[in-house]
Amino acid sequence: MEYRALVRPQVASLKPYTPGTTVSQARKKYGLDRFVKLSSNENPLGTSPLALEALRSMTDLNIYVDDDHAALRARLAAPYGFGAEHVLVGHGSNDVVRTLFTAFLAPGDEVVMADPTFSLFPKDAVLFDAVPVKVPLRDGVHDLDAMLAAVTPRTKIVVVCDPNNPTGTRVEPAAFERFARALPPQIVLVVDQAYREYMPSGSVEGAEFVRSRPGTVVLRTHSKLYGLAALRFGYALGDPEVIAYAQRVRLPFNVSRPAEVAALAALDDAAFVRRSLETNEAGKAYLARELARLGLDAYPTAANFVAVAVPGTATEAYEALLCRGIVTRSGDALGMPGRLRITIGTPEQNALLIEALAALARDGAPAPA
Ligand SMILES: Cc1ncc(COP(=O)(O)O)c(C=O)c1O
C-alpha cells in the first residue's frame, strides 16, 4: 500500500519534531556513565517540591478532570487583573499553539515569524496549509521593522518569540511597543514567552498588551521555571473572544488532573522559584565571564540558555562535547549554524561545560571516527 497517496500533501512534506538528545541516547552512543543534559532548557534544580508533594497525594485518577480548569485559569489570570475567561490551557504550550492555529489558520494565510525561531511555528503553519513568512533575525534579534514590512493583506498571525529560541535574545521594549501599535488590529499577535520569568526587569510583559491590543495572545509554560516539562502544562493569556474561539477546538481533557494539580501547587512554590532564578542568574554571569575568557561569542541571553559561537561546525562541536559527557543542541538543527544552544545549569554543570568548551577551543573538534 502506498500511503503517500493518502496522506495530506502538506503532511507528506513535514518532518517529525526532533527533540534534543536524551541522556539514554547519549549513553548508548558513547557508553559514558554520567551525562550533563543541557539540551532542552529544563530546570537544572529539578521539579518544584510543592508540585511533587501535591502529585504524591493524588487520588481518584479514575475520575476525569473537570475540563473547565476554572480555579487554575483564574489563578493564572489574576496577576494581570484578568479572569479565567482570558486563559486557554494546554498540554504544554506546544498544544496551545496547535489549538490557536487550528482555530485561526485557513489555507493560504500567512504567518510572519523570525528566522530562526522556535521550530514548531513554521511547522504548524504548514500543517494548516498556511505560509510561514520567515524574516531573518538581525544580529540575533527579531527585526521588528522587517517583520512589519513583511505583513500583507494575507497575514493572519504574527509570532514574536521573546526571549527567542534558539538565540535567547529579547526584543527591546520600546521597539516592541511601537511594533504592536503599528500592527493592523485584525492580525493575531502571538507572543511566545516560554522563558518570561527569566527575563531581566523592564522586559516586554506580553500580557500587558492583551489589554491595549486585544488581538494579542501570550504563551506561557510550566515546563521551564517550575520544572514540569514531563508533566505538560502550558497556557495562553488573551482576549476572552479570542480564547473562546480557541476553546471550541481545544481537545477535551488536554490537561490532565495531575498536570492541573501540580501546576497550581507550583505557583505557590516561591522558594523554588527564587532558588531557580538565583541559580540561573549566577550561571548566566559565570558563563558570560568564562565564555569571554575563552574568546567564544555568545548572544546576550534573557533566558535560561545561551547561544554560543563555536570553532568549526556546530555539529562537530556538539559531537565533541557529547563525547565528553555534555549534551547540548547543535545550531545546525535549529537554523543557527556555527552556534550551540546550551542550557544554563547548576554551578557544577556549568564548570564541566566550560572545561569541555576550553578543550574544544584549544584542540578543536576531534576528527569524526
Ligand atoms: C520558545 C518556546 N516555546 C514553547 C516551548 C514548548 O514548551 P512546552 O513544554 O510548554 O510545550 C518551548 C520549549 O522548548 C520553547 O522554547
pLDDT (tens digit, 9 = 90+) per residue, 268-316?
999 999 999 999 999 999 999 999 999 999 999 999 999 999 999 999 9
Write the CB contacts of 201 (distance below 8 Å, at least 6 apart in sequence).
Answer: none
Q: Express each pLDDT in 233-273 by its tens digit.
A: 999 999 999 999 999 999 999 999 999 999 999 999 999 99
Grid cell 503517500 in the structure block, residue:
4
Q: Is any atom of ligand 1 closer than 6 Å to the C-beta of 234?
A: yes
Residue having the nearest C-alpha atom to atom 7 of ligand 1: 93
24 pLDDT above the threshold of 60? yes
Confirm if 307 and 195 have CB atoms less than 8 A apart.
Answer: no
30 pLDDT above the threshold of 90? no
106 pLDDT above the threshold of 60? yes
CA 61 to chain centre: 29
Q: Is any atom of ligand 1 closer than 6 Å to the C-beta of 221?
A: yes
1 pLDDT above the threshold of 70? no
Radius of gyration over every alpha carbon of the chain, rounded to an integer in angstroms: 21
Give the other-Cβ count within 10 Å of 132's Cβ.
18
DSSP string, 105-124: --TT-EEEEEES--THHHHH
Q: Give percent of the chain above pLDDT 90.
A: 88
139 pLDDT above the threshold of 90? yes
pTM of the model: 0.96
> Would you say the C-alpha torsion 147, 148, 150, 153 has a positive or negative sign?
positive
- Give the per-residue pLDDT at 28: 80
Phi, psi of 8 (to 5 degrees): -60, 135
Q: Is any atom of ligand 1 closer than 6 Å to the C-beta of 119?
A: no
Mean pLDDT for all residues in the chain: 95
Q: Is any atom of ligand 1 closer than 6 Å to the C-beta of 305?
A: no
Q: Note the maximum CA span of the chain.
A: 59
Q: pLDDT category, 369, cuts 50, 70, 90?
A: low
Q: Express each pLDDT in 174-183 by its tens digit.
A: 999 999 999 9
Q: Express each pLDDT in 316-346 by its tens digit.
A: 999 999 999 999 999 999 999 999 999 999 9
Long-range contact list for 269-277, CB < 8 A, 24+ apart?
A: 269/48, 269/49, 269/50, 269/51, 269/226, 272/45, 272/48, 272/49, 272/50, 272/226, 272/227, 273/48, 273/197, 273/225, 273/226, 275/45, 276/43, 276/45, 276/225, 276/227, 277/197, 277/198, 277/225
- Angle separating helix axes 49-56 and 257-267, nearest 10 degrees: 140
- Give the per-residue pLDDT at 32: 79
